[in-house]
């Protein structure tokens, strides 16, 4: 089975994290989201992935290369100008001649793709859209559907009063390749605003799959922080390395390999400490602290409700609370970093 990952967006709402980095490459518990997504797909039998890139595409290619290290074949398509979600899907047409998966690359979910594909086949659908229920659907694509499980209307970012449905497009689709002929080539097209409404008008079968598991779009800073909290409390179970899940001990603490913790330092769960981290004397870590690989936490520093990426140096007596510190940052001694994102 093949999958197409839409990974070309600018990630504007995640700035400044995305100033130097494409959104799908942000680290989730010390590993790029895109890598986690591909490894997850692989567990469902996906052996070939097409990455549709645009913003900072080189960064993605340099990191994932041809996919050999992950055990899947990766093909790249790069747009010079953003073609929108529909235009990007059309540009990938040559790769698909059988039922395939399409994903937005900024979501973390534990959706069962095998079950989704089974539903798609049972419904004999041209497209199946996975839906999740949310309190406030205004920032999403909202789906109306009938009792037989088929989409009757698709309303992208609807205005207040435009729909009463709370089921939103989860950004996970199963497609039959024949549908691609309905998208104009070499044009900027939104799959959500243009293609789905047009397919419905033309009488295509768009199945609506209700998904009840964990789902989040990490497109804003609050949600980026929230997914880490949810992983640390076991609400969101994500894959670690090629198989198995990240396991929390009784206090909700995960300590990876090669970690050195000074005997006077204290760890308050839930917390995640990546490979080869060094935590110096009297430092206090947690609760809700994520520390990326190879990072150093200095003497008497405290880290609460914060996400630290790889190769970060936190010098002595630093206080971090509700902060995100991206890779290679150095935080000077005696600094307080509250509700802030630091990039190097
Ligand atoms: N290649 C390419 N080119 N990819 C793109 C482009 C483009 O021009 N524009 C967006 N993408 C990718 C983004 O990288 C992201 O992975 C995905 O398409 C969706 O774009 P977002 O910018 O994240 O859209 P959104 O979050 O506002 O809304 C979308 O996701 C919601 C669920 O999170 C829509 O699909 C909504 O309907 C949906 O509810
Ligand atoms: Mg999004």
User: Domain residue spans in the chain?
Assistant: 2-219, 248-342
The whole-number pLDDT of residue 247 equals 60
Separation of CA 53 from chain center:
15
Q: What average pLDDT does this structure show over 253-261? A: 93
> Taking a C-beta distance cutoff of 8 angstroms, is the pair 223, 108 a contact?
no
Computed over every residue of the chain, the mean pLDDT equals: 94
* CB of residue 133 inside a 6 A radius of ligand 1: no
Report the percentage of the chain scoring pLDDT > 70. 96
Torsion, Cα of 145, 213, 119, 39 (10° steps): 130
Give just the sign of the alpha carbon dihedral 337, 237, 32, 211. Answer: negative
Q: Which atom of ligand 1 is nearest to the CA of 192?
A: 37
Burial of 279-291, coded b for 16+ CB within 10 Å and e otherwise, reads: bbebbbbbbbbbb
Q: In CATH, what is the architecture of 248-342?
A: 3 Solenoid (2.160)
Name the closest-CA residue to atom 3, ligand 1: 8
* CB of residue 105 inside a 6 A radius of ligand 1: yes
Query: Helix 57-64 and helix 33-43: axis angle, to 10°?
Result: 50
Round to whole Å and give the CA distance between 297 and 321: 14
Give just the sign of the alpha carbon dihedral 108, 111, 114, 119. Answer: negative
Q: What average pLDDT does this structure show over 155-174? A: 95
Name the closest-CA residue to atom 2, ligand 1: 8
Round to whole Å and give the CA distance between 130 and 174: 8
* CB of residue 192 inside a 6 A radius of ligand 1: yes
> Taking a C-beta distance cutoff of 8 angstroms, is the pair 38, 75 a contact?
no
The pTM score is 0.93
Residue 239 has pLDDT above 50, yes or no: no
For residue 91, give the ligand nearest its CA: 1
Round to whole Å and give the CA distance between 277 and 257: 9
The whole-number pLDDT of residue 248 equals 63
Residue 243 has pLDDT above 70, yes or no: no
Name the closest-CA residue to atom 13, ligand 1: 9
Give the model's confidence band at 241: pLDDT under 50 very low, under 70 low, under 90 confident, else very high.
very low
Name the closest-CA residue to atom 28, ligand 1: 140
Separation of CA 174 from chain center:
18
Q: What average pLDDT does this structure show over 305-314? A: 97
- What's the 105 CA to ligand 2 centre distance in angstroms? 8
Give the model's confidence band at 246: pLDDT under 50 very low, under 70 low, under 90 confident, else very high.
low
> Taking a C-beta distance cutoff of 8 angstroms, is the pair 22, 55 a contact?
yes
- What's the 318 CA to ligand 1 centre distance in angstroms? 37
Ligand 1, from 7, 26, 85, 154: best to mutate by most atoms within 8 Å of Cβ?
A: 85
| Among 340, 335, 304, 336, CA closest to 325 | 340
Q: In CATH, what is the architecture of 2-219?
A: Alpha-Beta Complex (3.90)
């Amino acid at each position: 089975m093949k999958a197409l990952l839409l990974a070309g967006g600018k990630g504007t709402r995640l700035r400044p994290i995305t100033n130097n980095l494409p959104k799908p490459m942000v680290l989730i518990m010390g590993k790029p989201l895109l890598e986690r997504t591909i490894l997850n797909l692989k567990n469902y039998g996906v052996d070939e992935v097409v990455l549709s890139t645009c913003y900072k595409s080189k960064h993605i290619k340099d990191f994932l290369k041809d996919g050999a290290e992950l055990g899947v074949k990766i093909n790249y398509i790069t747009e010079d100008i953003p073609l929108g979600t529909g235009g990007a899907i059309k540009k990938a047409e040559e790769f698909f001649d059988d039922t395939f998966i399409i994903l937005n690359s900024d979501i973390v979910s534990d959706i069962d793709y095998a079950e989704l594909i089974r539903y798609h086949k049972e419904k004999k659908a041209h497209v199946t859209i996975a839906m999740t229920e949310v309190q406030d659907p205004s920032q999403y694509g909202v789906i109306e559907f009938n009792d037989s499980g088929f989409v009757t209307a698709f309303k992208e970012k609807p205005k207040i009063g435009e729909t009463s449905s709370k089921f939103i497009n989860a950004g996970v689709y199963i497609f039959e390749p024949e549908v691609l002929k309905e998208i104009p080539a070499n044009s900027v097209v939104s799959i959500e605003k243009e293609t789905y409404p047009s397919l419905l008008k033309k009488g295509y079968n768009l199945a609506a799959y209700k998904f009840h598991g964990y789902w989040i779009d990490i497109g804003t800073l609050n949600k980026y922080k929230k997914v880490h909290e949810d992983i640390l409390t076991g609400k969101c179970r994500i894959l670690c390395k090629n198989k198995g899940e990240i396991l929390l001990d009784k206090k909700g603490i995960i300590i990876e390999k090669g970690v050195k913790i000074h005997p006077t330092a204290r760890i308050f769960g839930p917390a995640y400490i990546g490979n080869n981290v060094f935590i110096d004397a009297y430092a206090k870590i947690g609760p809700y602290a994520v520390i990326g690989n190879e990072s150093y936490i200095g003497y008497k520093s405290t880290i609460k409700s914060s996400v630290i990426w790889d190769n970060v140096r936190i010098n002595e007596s630093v206080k971090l609370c509700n902060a995100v510190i991206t890779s290679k940052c150095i935080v000077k001694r005696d600094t307080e970093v509250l509700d802030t994102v630091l990039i190097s």
